[in-house]
Structure 1
Amino acid sequence: MKKLSVFELGIMTVAGVFMLNTLPLMAVYGFSSIFYYLFGAILYFIPLAFICAELSSGWAQTGGAYIWIREAFGSHIGFLGVWLEWSNTVISFPALLVFIGTTFIYAINPALANNKYIMLALLLTIFWGLTIINFLGFNISGRMSVIGFILGSLLPILLLIALSIVWLGLKHPSHIHVDWHLPTFNPKHSAFLVGLLLGYAGIQITAYHAQEIPNAQKNFPRAILIVVILMLFISIGGSLAIAIVVPSQQLNIISGVMQAIALFLAAFHLQAFIPYIAILIALGLLAMLNLWVIGPSKGLCISLNQPFTHLLVYQAIIITLLSVVYLWMPNIQSAYWMLIALTAILTLMMNILMFASLLRLRYTQPNRYRTYRIPGKNIGAWIVCITGMVVCFAAIILGFFPPIQLKTGHLFFYETFLMGGIILIVSVPLLFKISKS
């Protein structure tokens, strides 16, 4: 097996984890977003990376989280874990698709992005198209994710940062208020922090390659340091660039990236390039999204022993039904956020199982060979896992507070949607267990 360098692993991870849709969410907070990004990286992102690295280096079989949780708590809890992983990915698709669709529509007419019916038709066309491509067996190389990252995320962010520097250099006004005081943790004000943690959750991709770097015990922390630095640079830089040019009251949490790019280019008399940039971003994000269409279903196939193509069709049907939420809500942004919040809560629940699995396996399988172990023996593992679990529990509670920046309708509907979704999803493994019995 070819060994990866520390830098290669770092770049691969950033390409697999980073998603552009986090930037507008955090741009709402302006200068305070710096604190939130650092908070999420230190107390959630790094602990999650470390536990995934140890678990994957000890149990490297195909199946990921399902294998880890099953080894710790048995097949039933293992199935719950992989079901949560598959469910949170499926629920996130309508949100990611509307982000891609809104970006694409910017190439035609930005006003159409507020039309629920056009957006619904577009996102369903995109997803069913990707499903059919994978159903027919067309294998799109994993390298496409890196190309997609460059086109759909890295280049737009670098463009945003460069434009913001030129903007400030030419003495244009900035909408950011610099304040070095700690930001408020009022739940309704800081609710978007849940979306930030969701943006960090894909760090498992690094862990899957922990055994592919030489001297993992020494080099893996270095790779994580590279990932954290790169993620913080592009995330903070991108969010601040948006906040500089778009007032927080006018910022659209879906199309905020294109909002900022359009305002910058218009100010520099370069608006003719807006449609081309929008199409480039949309195509790049589609290349990245395609890998997520097939990825989570593989772990579920292993636990259910079901044909892969069947799950692809079931997945597409569920996403079609979920997408109808865009027609129920007061506006597209509200529906988008509710899907993000539900996805984040389910992801955090799965992360809690992963943290607990690492602790249990430290005691039930202490002699299992691992190419990487969290430093500090069992005390180090406890510190990392407890920190991660506390943040996960706190973020789950935070997710039930509707953000003050959005009109999400009646509080009862908002919380019922989230709680109902959680109960429905968690009950499936229980019903599956009963039917097997």
Structure 2
Amino acid sequence: MSASSGRAPTKASGTITVFGLALLNITAVVSLNDLPSEAEYGLSSVTYFLFAAVFFLVPVSLVAAELATGWPEKGGVFRWVGEAFRGRLGFMAMFLLWVQVCVFVPTSLTFGAVALAYINPDESEAQSLAGTPAFVLGVVLVVFWIALLVALRGTGGYATMAKWGGVVGVFVPITVLVGFAVAYAVAGNVPEMDVAWGELLPDFAGLSTVVLAASIFLMYAGMEMNAVHVKEVDNPTRNYPIAIFLSAIVTVLVFVLGALAIAWIVPRRDINLTEAILVTYIDVFRWAGIPWASSVLAVMLAVGVLVNVTTWAAGPSTGLLAVARAGYLPRAFHRTNRHGAAVTIMVLQGCIVTLVSILFVLLPSVQSAYQILNQLANILYLTVYLLMFTSVIRLRYTQRDRPRPFRLGRSNTLVWVVAGAGLLASSLAYVLSFVPPDQINVGSPGLYVGILVAATLVMYALPNLVYQFRAPSWDTADPDFEPFTWERPRAG
């Protein structure tokens, strides 16, 4: 949106309320498919969620707000990192954000496949079907390509679906889950987890015991997407932090209560990363005398997955299109359809998701494949956040006079504290993501680590190779992409 004179900017700045922005943030972040991995930790999951919120969720949101208002030009993460560290790392950041979607989508759709299996009210038959790799792979591919076709119709193709799908697939299921779990507990049912106060303290007996906790960071990922709306909030310096803390509190409550509901009802030994939440619904609805309701919730959860995947398929692909048209990818990747969707990039994404999904058949079990892909997505996304946190610090020194409608303090002290906390927490989660978890049988630990390391190195190498061998003919001088500050001629 271009700036205009007179009162227009002032009017536009108040179009989003504090509560409206908080709702946008909650919708972007909250997803239910990773709750079972945190339910493994019982009461100590509360500590993990709070730690990740304070040292990751809030820093990401505040840092993204300064970057989005200071550099509102097209490009997002590519723009922010590129302004701080030039084109190579900017391209790498955007590529990793895009490719982690390719890795993350199969894990998200696995949850959707399991949800569809549990439409069958016979729990044993549902478990058998959910554990069949061919069924999971088939559902993953069919649903993803449907989502991609919707995304190819542009914003109008999925905006309405995203609005109502978020309510149907996320807010209603989590409200029902927590509500019935509370009633189940109040009725005097014995909890399956230890509720002693001492259980709030994590068990640090070894790194492998806290590996699943690192996935909390990916559960909180996505808050930076709505930082682009900061300029539309009235008095952003005051109201944006309020919206961030409000959305953070609600998000933490949803995750904490959801994970505790599962841990309260399902024995720890029976918690399965892809099935536990469905088993929880079955148990509470059977207790409430309405077993048929579990089939309804299974359908709603599957709808939520479809909406989530469609949104993530469209967003980063649009960002990578900006990278392509800035001259960093061949002209074939510049193509869009009549709806403005990045055709070549999205089709390539579909091919990658298809190949990655085949791992579900080749690896020992759906659950181990789920964990490997989930951790790889974690590693790639955390790399983007590490670059983002360092970028906001560097830009305070290299572009100190740049106007920032939202700024983390007048001096550089607060940005060091906030971004530094994010850097430390992200680095810790990054390291933990390479350690095999004790709670899951991943086959050979050496093979598990080897796959993660090899895949990570390949993902790091690809954008660097493309950047190194880029051709001048790739640059189309796209008028919609403004040059980086360091690319513009100096005045005088």
Matched, 1:153 2:170: yes
Aligned to 1:341: 375
The equivalent residue for 2:119 is 107
Find runs of 4+ consecutive structure 1 residues off by over 6 angstroms. Answer: none
Establish whether residue 314 from structure 1 lines up as the match of residue 348 from structure 2. Answer: yes
**Equivalent AA in structure 2 for residue 47 of structure 1:** P
Residue 234 of structure 1 corresponds to which residue in structure 2?
254
Give the aligned residue type for 1:20: L
Residue from 49, 55, 63 that aligns with 1:37? 49
Deviation at 1:137, TM superposition (A): 5.5
Q: 2:212 aligns with which of 192, 195, 207?
A: 192
**Partner amino acid, structure 1, of 2:306:** L
For residues 361 and 143 of structure 1, the distance between their equivalents in structure 2, rounded to whole angstroms, comes to: 37
> C-alpha deviations, 1:364-412, integer Å up to 9, x for none?
1111111101136201111111211111111111011111110001111
Q: Which residue number in structure 2 is paired with residue 170 of structure 1?
A: 187
Q: Which moved more, 1:423-432 or 1:203-212?
A: 203-212
Q: Distance in 2 between matches of 1:247 and 1:88?
A: 32
Partner secondary structure for residue 210 of structure 2: coil
Contact 1:355/1:388 (8 A) holds in 2: yes
Match of 1:298 in 2: 318
- 1:399 maps to 433
Counterparts of 2:466 and 2:109 in 1: how far apart (Å)? Answer: 30
Question: Which of 411, 419, 426 is the equivalent residue of 1:385?
Answer: 419
8 Å CA contact 1:330, 1:407 repeated in 2? no
1:132 aligns to what?
149
* Pairing 1:67–2:79 present: yes
Whole-angstrom CA distance in 2 between matches of 1:55 and 1:86: 19
Contact preservation (8 Å) 2:270, 2:276: no
Please, which runs of 5 or more residues in structure 2 have no aligned partner?
1-11, 326-333, 336-341, 472-492
Contact 1:15 1:145 in 2 (8 A): no
Q: CA deviation at 1:189?
A: 0.9
- Give the fraction of aligned pairs with identical amino acids, expressed as a percent: 30
> Residue in 1 aligned with 2:28?
16
In structure 2, C-alpha distance between the alignment counterparts of 1:137 and 1:69, rounded to whole Å: 26
The amino acid of 1:385's aligned partner reads A
- How many residues were matched structurally? 437
Are the counterparts in 2 of residues 18 and 231 from structure 1 also a CA contact under 8 Å? yes
1:234 deviates by 0.9
Q: What's the offset of the Cα at 1:205? A: 2.2
Stretch moving more, 317-326 or 200-209:
200-209
* Deviation per residue, 1:277-325 (Å, 9 max, x gap): 2112211331232111111011111111222100111000000110111
Question: Which residue of the partner structure matches residue 109 of structure 2?
Answer: 97
Query: Is structure 2 residue 294 aligned with structure 1 residue 258?
Result: no
Residue 224 of structure 1 is matched in structure 2 by 244
Letter of the 1:123 partner, please give it: V
CA separation in 2, counterparts of 1:136 and 1:166? 43
Q: Deviations over 1:330-363 (max 9, x none)?
A: 2111100111100001111110100111011111
- Code of the residue aligned with 2:437 in structure 1: it is P
Q: Return the offset for 1:155.
A: 1.0
AA at the equivalent of 1:150: V
Give the CA deviation at 1:158. 1.0
Q: Distance in 1 between matches of 2:208 and 2:245?
A: 32
Which stretch of the first structure deviates more once superposed, 366-375 or 350-359?
366-375
SS at match of 2:409: coil
Q: Which of 344, 363, 373 is residue 397 of structure 2 equivalent to? A: 363
- Say whether residues 1:86 and 2:98 are aligned partners: yes
1:183 corresponds to which residue? 202
CA distance in 2, matches of 1:209, 1:136: 23
TM-score with structure 2 setting the length: 0.86
Alignment correspondent of 1:419: 453
Once the two structures are superposed, what CA deviation does each residue of 1:40-59 show, in whole Å capped at 9, x if it has no partner?
00011111111101000111
- The amino acid across from 1:12 in the alignment is L
* Partner of residue 289 from structure 2, selected from 249, 269, 277: 269
CA RMSD of aligned residues (A): 1.4
Secondary structure of the corresponding residue to residue 159 of structure 1: helix
